Amino acid sequence: MLKEFKEFVMRGNVMDLAIGIIIGAAFGKIVTSFVGDILMPPIGLVLGNVDFANLFINLSRVHYDTLKAAKEAGAATINYGAFIQTVIDFVIVAFVIFLVVKQINKMKRKPADIAPSTKECSFCALDVPIKAIKCPHCTSELKAA
């Protein structure tokens, strides 16, 4: 059983998947940092000094000035600012993946247009060699290719 597991893990697809997950996780952290540390502060500044990470709805009856204070007190909150940042993270990651897949599809070789080697007999509708002048099935005269 251990040998089978080793063969399974060492197959190319599994290793490619593992590498993809590791690179994806690292890329996700980069995007999260980009959104939280670089993109959202200027957007918040333009919108009137809004800190998206601190936007929340307090579900308790006690008022809290910051999300950190509400969390420390154990208050129930809806953290819609964090949700907005996560949605922006997702959109950026999805767009980058779209661009990568689009480039990969462009780089894939397209099969060369292969000239047909047969033609259809207009009388019996069977395929005959392209150079044939007479159908081997119905013996009718064929037009030249």
Residues of the chain with CATH 1.10.1200.120: 2-110
Class assignment of domain 2-110?
Answer: mainly alpha
CB 33 within 8 A of CB 26: no
Q: Would you write out the chain's pLDDT as a tens digit for each of its 145 residues?
A: 888 877 776 776 777 778 888 888 888 888 888 888 888 888 888 888 888 888 899 898 889 888 889 889 989 999 998 898 888 888 888 888 888 888 888 877 666 667 788 888 888 888 998 888 888 888 888 876 5
- Token couple for 84: 């907005």
- The structure tokens 């392209």 sit at 130
Residues 6+ apart with CB under 8 A from 78: 56, 57, 59
The pLDDT of residue 78 is 92
Separation CA 134–CA 144 (nearest Å) = 10
